[in-house]
């Protein structure tokens, strides 16, 4: 019997809706902050706190996701995240007749961040634990595609909600509707999750082998399911089905967790979120765009993001993980060379634009989707939920560091002395680290089962 590809694709797309909400919830703040800042008369510092507060929720959610996932399973964890997304979307846009305050808005944004943190750990891991080795990379990259599409959809939705409305309407009501627009994908995600199976590998760890076998047979057929069950049992035997938190952070697992966490953190130190959050300024200098053209800038970035993510999806199981990371890193380095060099030489123009787009496209081809693939498959079965929780929490922590420090670096005297190019040269140094680190520490996992990948670590 051949692999049930249609079933796997359907389940992967449903799980990936967690990524769409990740992108949507992160992006909706960009469309709303201009108006709720006026409504609450926020200072710059308080505005930064409201906008960035969700990242702290993401950090906490990711840190606790491993424990939740291990106890209640990957599927149930995604259901909990969908509930948190729904509460956040409704509460962030409380109607004007209810006493909405800045602390309440921050609280609901943090709740949404908790949902993002839980989903960002569980969704790719859940897909990886169902997918066969030869399709796992492509199916897991649906998660990154969903994040990209979430950003793209929310840019369009917030634009059309606010378009044609008076400034007074958007300041009083428009931003609330923008937050509420997230309820549609929230309810869709929550409802569809009740129609997907539990992770077969988690079921084995939980001692529910009959259920696990039935799911594996539906995916792979009876013969292949038996082989999968055998490999799962062999990988769990040395830890007797699981390990404690203390054991997870000791040999032989600690080194694997550290390697995964460094790779995860380096994804943020490429500078991707600095470009996505502050790229409008670059476009304005390069092409003379005004405020009315912000949507064009966002669509241009999102279009490149989507196109290159599609390429990564189709090639990750052919080219392999390491070649994509290395090739994409070279592209990111060259993109920032063009951008940073044009800024340093005070020759901002079309070369700067090409540099930004080259960077974004190269990231979408490599460190964007491929890191999620590698994280979802590199950790041993017995510690996967704990290890991935740590790695994703590190990623959110690094995201917060980059997001908060970028404006400081941009406003520094040192940056002024080099015509605004300093942050891009810093990011270029980290990109070089990514190339060296990947070549030295990341194994090629293309075409290998999760249990075969686990064996690679213990042979070293």
pLDDT (average), residues 196-209 = 90
> What pLDDT score was predicted for residue 60?
93
Distance of CA 192 to the CA centre of its chain: 21
> What pLDDT score was predicted for residue 296?
64
Single pTM value for the model: 0.82
Task: Give the confidence band of 283 by pLDDT, cuts at 50, 70, 90.
Answer: low
Residue spans of the domains in the chain: they are 1-196, 243-460
pLDDT reading at 429 higher than 60: yes
pLDDT (average), residues 218-225 = 82
pLDDT (average), residues 56-76 = 92
> Distance between CA atoms of 82 and 193, rounded to whole angstroms?
9
Task: Give the confidence band of 281 by pLDDT, cuts at 50, 70, 90.
Answer: low
Q: What is the DSSP string of 409-457?
A: HHTSHHHHHTTT-HHHHHHHHHHHHHHHHHHHHPPP-TT--HHHHHHHH
> What pLDDT score was predicted for residue 280?
55
CATH class of domain segment(s) 243-460:
mainly alpha
Architecture of domain 1-196: Up-down Bundle (1.20)
Task: Give the confidence band of 160 by pLDDT, cuts at 50, 70, 90.
Answer: confident
Task: Give Cβ neighbours of residue 183 (< 8 Å, ≥ 6 apart).
Answer: 86, 89, 90
Task: Give the confidence band of 242 by pLDDT, cuts at 50, 70, 90.
Answer: low
Secondary structure, 3-state, 163-198: CCCCHHHHHHHHHHHHHHCCHHHHHHHHHHHCCCCC
pLDDT reading at 1 higher than 60: no
Task: Give the confidence band of 303 by pLDDT, cuts at 50, 70, 90.
Answer: confident
The H or E element containing residue 208 is: none
Domains 1-196 and 243-460 share a fold: yes
Task: Give the confidence band of 331 by pLDDT, cuts at 50, 70, 90.
Answer: very high
Is residue 306 within 8 Å of 153, Cβ to Cβ? no
> Distance between CA atoms of 10 and 100, rounded to whole angstroms?
39
Assigned token pair, 96:
């004007």
pLDDT reading at 360 higher than 80: yes
Q: Which of 26-30, 215-219, 267-271, 386-390 has the highest mean pLDDT?
A: 267-271
Q: Which of 49-58, 158-167, 338-347 has the highest mean pLDDT?
A: 338-347
Q: Poorest-confidence range of 45-49, 254-258, 410-414? A: 45-49
pLDDT (average), residues 140-169 = 86
Please state, rounded to an integer, the average pLDDT across all residues of the chain. 87
pLDDT reading at 279 higher than 80: no
> What pLDDT score was predicted for residue 301?
78
Q: Which of 47-51, 346-350, 394-398 has the highest mean pLDDT?
A: 394-398
Q: In terms of pLDDT, which residue wins out, 114 or 450?
A: 114
pLDDT (average), residues 47-61 = 86
pLDDT (average), residues 326-339 = 96
> What pLDDT score was predicted for residue 187?
97
Collapsed DSSP state (helix, strand, coil) of residue 267: helix
> What pLDDT score was predicted for residue 4?
80
pLDDT (average), residues 165-176 = 88
* Residues above pLDDT 70, as percent of the chain: 91
> What pLDDT score was predicted for residue 155?
78
Assigned token pair, 378:
């590199």
> What pLDDT score was predicted for residue 406?
83
């Amino acid at each position: 019997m051949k692999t049930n590809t249609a079933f796997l694709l359907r389940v992967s797309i449903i799980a990936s809706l967690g990524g769409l909400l990740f992108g949507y919830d992160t992006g909706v703040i960009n469309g709303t902050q201009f108006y709720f800042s006026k409504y609450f008369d926020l200072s710059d510092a308080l505005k930064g706190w409201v906008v960035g507060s969700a990242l702290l929720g993401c950090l906490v959610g990711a840190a606790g996701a491993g424990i939740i996932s291990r106890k209640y399973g990957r599927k149930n964890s995604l259901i909990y995240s969908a509930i948190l997304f729904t509460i956040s979307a409704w509460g962030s846009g409380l109607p004007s007749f209810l006493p909405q305050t800045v602390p309440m808005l921050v609280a609901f944004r943090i709740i949404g961040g908790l949902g993002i943190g839980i989903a960002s750990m569980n969704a790719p891991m859940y897909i990886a634990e169902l997918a066969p080795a030869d399709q796992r990379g492509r199916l897991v990259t649906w998660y990154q595609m969903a994040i990209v599409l979430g950003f793209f959809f929310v840019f369009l939705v917030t634009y059309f909600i606010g378009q044609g409305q008076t400034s007074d309407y958007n300041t009083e009501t428009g931003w609330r509707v923008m937050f509420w627009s997230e309820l549609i994908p929230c309810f869709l995600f929550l409802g569809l999750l009740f129609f997907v199976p539990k992770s077969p590998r988690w079921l084995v760890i939980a001692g529910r082998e009959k259920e696990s076998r039935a799911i594996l047979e539906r995916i792979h057929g009876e013969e292949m399911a038996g082989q999968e069950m055998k490999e799962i049992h062999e990988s769990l035997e040395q830890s007797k089905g699981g390990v404690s938190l203390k054991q997870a952070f000791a040999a032989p697992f600690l080194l694997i967790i550290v390697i995964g966490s460094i790779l995860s953190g380096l994804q943020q130190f490429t500078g991707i979120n600095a470009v996505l959050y502050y790229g409008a300024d670059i476009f304005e200098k390069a092409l003379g765009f005004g405020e009315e053209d912000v949507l064009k800038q966002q669509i241009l970035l999102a279009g490149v993001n989507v196109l290159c993510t599609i390429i990564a999806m189709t090639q990750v199981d052919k080219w392999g993980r390491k070649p994509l990371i290395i090739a994409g890193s070279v592209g990111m380095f060259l993109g920032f060379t063009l951008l940073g060099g044009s800024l340093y030489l005070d020759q901002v123009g079309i070369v700067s634009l090409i540099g930004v787009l080259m960077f974004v496209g190269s990231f979408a081809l490599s460190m964007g989707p491929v890191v999620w693939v590698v994280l979802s498959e590199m950790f041993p079965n017995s510690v996967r939920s704990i290890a991935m929780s740590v790695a994703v929490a590190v990623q959110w922590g690094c995201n917060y560091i980059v997001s908060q420090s970028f404006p400081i670096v941009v406003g520094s005297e040192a940056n002024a002395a080099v015509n605004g190019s300093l942050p891009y040269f810093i990011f270029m140094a980290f990109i070089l680290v990514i190339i060296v680190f990947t070549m030295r520490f990341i194994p090629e996992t293309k075409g290998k089962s999760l249990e075969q990948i686990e064996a690679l670590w213990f042979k070293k």
